[in-house]
Amino acid sequence: MRTAPTILHLDMDAFYASAEQAAKPSLRGKAVVVGGLGPRGVVATASYEARKFGVHSAMPMGQARRLAPHAAYLVPRFRLYREISEQVMGLLGALSPLVEPLSLDEAFVDLEAGEAAWDAASAEAVGRRLRADIRRVTGLTGSVGLAASKMLAKIGSEEAKPDGLVLIRPGTERALLGPQSVRILPGVGPATADHLRRAGILTVEEIAGAGEDELVRLLGKAHGSHLYEMALARDERPVVAERDSKSVSVEDTYDVDIHDRVQVRMEVRRLAGRCVERLRAAERSGRTVVLKVRRYDFSTLTRSETLRGPTDDPGVVREAAARLLESVDTTGGVRLLGVGVSGLADFTQEDLFAQFAAAEEAAAEEAEGESGPVESVEAAEPEPAPVERKWLAGHDVRHAEFGPGWVQGSGLGRVTVRFETPYAVVPGRVRTFRVDDPELEPAEPMPLVEGPEGDQVTSSSAPATLPKVTSGD
């Protein structure tokens, strides 16, 4: 391991929920839950105010509503989150050529490779400046961990939450980790912690004292050996810069193992949708769909299916992932799920024609299922009923008279809108309209930070308050 804390881990604080609070003055300081709002929806992110009620990510939305009935429940706005992520990753890229994104809101940075830091003092200064820049550019906060290894840097950022910075000095890692619960180590979830507890192992120091052979006996060769190395603070993994990928994938690790098979299916469906979003953002398509399942006992299974041609169709990827899940036994619980697409190719005209044909075929099948076989286009057809516009809670709108706002809720032919912008000092006023009001239209997300000319801030002229720093020694 290196001799200076020059590996930085950044984790944005309650990212989706914090972005929604920054965009909506009326929600600042209040409980906010972002996720799927349907009967099978799950929580994507909960604000710190909502977490006080026990709400957490991957929780069924129905359970979250019972725990925090007065929270604001919003549908994700991934376009906004991606835009903020690009700004944050741009700030990281200015520090070093070695930036390893883990998700939209999390990344490792090798400060040494970019000659941005070479010792504890310079690394701490970079961490302070980065956090101030993130707040200035995005209006949001991020927590930073600095250490000589990726594992310790990630532990540092977790300990720094929310809105803090922790620097772990080389040579102090064992003393810092020793008295901590085994749960502080990556990959130690409730099931593994309970297994260790039954063996009388409660702290990281006790893991190290048990020895590698005992851990292998308890947890198996791969997991036992890896856990022993982590307990000794050994982690030689380098920061790997993003490169031209051979695959696109997303995965989530859950704080609490998922036992409900229906919820597992819904998580796979959600992950497949996120995977396709990344695939399309990269302007790629792929032939092979891959499902990854890590079970309660840390056994990891992968299943794959190769399609007849490359695709970026979310329906195709979801269906393939669902088929793959049927071959996996999730009895006992699931702690990680992932969906990926490999065998990537650039978009081709044939892809587009194939997707168009598939969409037409699916539409025809749906129409036949609802109203019988579809007659020829020459046959007389009744005038189609007007389709009621759907207004998603939390999404942006604009009214011809009242200006920009966001949807608080809709139903029974009505939609309620709060008219406010991210730059308002006080909460905005509320109005209710018919769902088909011609003066109400969907709108694009507004930047969270307003510059001198009403544009997003891009200069470094705004002052920032330096965060307090917690040292690891």
- Catalytic residue annotation: 106
Pairing of strands 7-12, 142-147: antiparallel
Residue 345 parent element (H or E): strand 334-346
d(CA 153, CA 133): 20
101 in Cβ contact with 107 (< 8 Å): yes
How many CB atoms sit inside 10 A of residue 410's CB? 19
Structure tokens at 309: 């041609």
CA angle 37, 105, 452 (to 5 degrees): 100
90-94-97-102 Cα dihedral, nearest 10 degrees: -40
Give the helix ranges, DSSP H, for 9-106: 15-23, 48-51, 61-67, 78-93
Q: What b-and-e string marks burial along 369-389, b requiring 16 or more CB atoms within 10 Å of the CB? A: eeeeeeeeeeeeeeeeeeeee
DSSP symbol at 35: E
Q: DSSP character for 181?
A: B
Q: 154-181 in b/e burial notation, b at 16+ Cβ within 10 A? A: bbbbebbbebbbbbbbbebbeebbbeee
CA distance 179 to 160: 18
Q: Output the DSSP codes for 400-454.
A: TTTEEEEEEEEETTEEEEEE--TT-SSPPEEEEEETT-TTEEE-PPPPSS--TTS
Print the SS3 string covering 197-223.
HHCCCCEHHHHHHHCHHHHHHHHCHHH
Where are any strands of DSSP class E within 138-244? Answer: 142-147, 165-167
Cβ-proximal residues to 75 (8 Å cutoff; 6+ apart), any chain: 34, 35, 36, 37, 392, 393, 394, 395
